[in-house]
Structure 1
Amino acid sequence: MKLSQRVQTITPSYTIGISTKVKALKSEGKSIIDLSIGEPDFFTPEKAKLEGIDAIARNESKYDMVPGLMALRKAIVNKLKTENGVDYEVTDIVVSSGAKHAITNTLLAILDPGDEVIVPKPYWTSYPEMIKLCGGIPVLVDTKIENQFKLTLEELKNAVTPKTKMLLINNPSNPTGAVYTKSELEPLVNLCIEKDLFILADEIYERICYTDDFTSIASISPEAKAITVVINGLSKSVAMTGWRIGYTASSPEIAKAISTIQGHLVSHPSIVSQWAGAAALTDCLDDMTQMVSEYKLRRDLLVETLRKIDHVTFIQPDGAFYLFMDLSYYKDKFNAEDSLSLQICDDLLTQYDLAVVPGIAFGNDHCIRLSYATELSLVQEGLSRIKTYLSQL
């Protein structure tokens, strides 16, 4: 008996492989500095936790509406209007079990078998696999470090074919931390409008932004809003990773399709999590602001340190909580037939007890990614070990 063809096309997760190695080394008694995980080191704010506890006490444990609790969807509508300048109706919002689920719902609602989705490189590791699982074909487009790894109009034009159905943009970016400006987004959006392409705008990191001019794609114009599905959630902005609350904001037609799909596959996310999420959006703004301030402090200190390491190229992250380091200078030190980033990351883990993610997981084998969503002293020590390692190559 054979498994499905779709499973055979999926690439195993590099990050899971790293996590497995880290666990094995820790079981041997080694102390590993783990900078591979994209998870906030903060805890869920108290008001959100208390609302979750209260929801349990109120016996909020029955089925509810497939697209999400009315209280949470109203809070999302208000957030999108006040923070992002986009007006949606409550019926345009579908709450899902995390942003991954929101993306999958969207791909299932829009793609037919063989449809192409343009994905700029470097990309979050799961995008191509999610597209393939939903019957689409990921078209991975190279970007340049001199453009902060942001897609340009010319690069987009060259990637569009008669089979193109969608452009996927992650803003701010995982793994680079790059943030598109409005002037950079507008020509991309206008081409998508001209070519009748959907835009999947993954804005899960939009609150962790160190500039004052974050632009949500749907806010650019009514025409942009009509073709865009905004993906967001509470995992990164409110440190609610395990609560699994994400959402889409889209046109009524797309929202209805997403809700129908979700209704058949999973119904709705945990009711308790949704009540906690509503409290997070309405009562925990100060907590979110404090988290972002701490991330920015870490970013500033780490960038200063990174600039002192020879032969390392990087872009200053304007959002998210990652540093994406280009180590292509050292490629001649390794076997050209093997993966540069995998070799470096394996050396760092086995020789220096440091876990980071190889850039090959994001479509760029010259880079490694480390997360500063952890204690500052640990990240600084991690950079110190990288510097020591590179100096010995």
Structure 2
Amino acid sequence: EPVRVGGHYGLEVSHENGVIVKRVTFDGVCEADGRLWENKKAIANEARILRILAGSGIAPELIEQHDDYIVETYIKAEPVEDGEQFRRNIARLLWTLRHYEIHHDDLTHQNMFVCANSTPVAVDFHEAHLYDEPCPPKHRSPDFFYLLKWAATVASEAHPTPDTPRIIRRWFSVCGSLRDGNSDPHRGLEDKTLLDLGCFQGDFCALAAAEGMHTTGVDGGGFRTGEDSVQIAHALWDGMHGKMTWRKTDIMDVTDFNYDAVLLFSTWPYIVQTHGKKAALELLSRIMQQLSRRRQGGKLFFETQLYGDGPGPDFLQTEEDVQAMLAQVGTPKELVRVHVAGRPAHRTVWEVT
């Protein structure tokens, strides 16, 4: 027996014989969710988008298309098994949508599933459109906002995923600062540039690339002896390299900071340990000097451990100490304080201009 799993007036969505069937039961214009719908046009549009995304792994596969119904593969929900893999698959989903220049326009929790191997899959593309197609958005915020908000909630309920919600909250703060009121939900960060100093395995570079940014990740190797984080990043983000560049080098050897955004997240204390406080402060000064000379300006996004939190230096006891230090090289603005799971500590993301 078919089991109804969704839909609205004039459109029934049912699970039957192992597939999803979306069937039009009213052909005219109807009102649902406070908006007017033409259901045959809606399912035809969904079929068109699913053809574009065929084989991508981020959406159902279209099986059949008819005038008054379409048939899609059934998406079976699974628990998140690996929070880190889940977070990285989210970045790949966003990148794939951007690659095909598709705006879903309704990536809320009702339209997202977690499948095998912690893979997120989006459904219900009847409102989706290509970037160059005129279509008033259902939501004022872009796809990434709703998708990452859902991902943070899902990851918080899974184990072990302590870093995933924290990484997402930090990226939210960076995106919000860089968009700075840009009303275009598609191209807000398109072709902006980002440098991640201490990129580790490239998560922030991947999230930035998924937003259309050109990114450079710099890392000296990794936390563990013999680890090559840059090589791991190459392998992890294979297929997304068109907008991603990697450099394996000491951060102190970097001389070009001419980017829209420079990230220093949880990296600075290690620079202090290796090169000393004076050299680390001089690095901040060099970064800000170059950013201030950019015609459009540039921003440093800074986060550090305080004393008592891992490698946090003894001269940074409070966030007020961090603010005073950053004020020596620019104008700091607190964006967000993020709790560190498993530690009696938080870390603050600062924007410095």
More helix by share: 1
TM-score of the superposed pair, with normalisation by structure 1: 0.26
TM-score of the superposed pair, with normalisation by structure 2: 0.28
Greater relative contact order (CA < 8 Å, ≥ 6 in sequence): 1
Indicate the structure (1 or 2) with the bigger Cα radius of gyration. 2
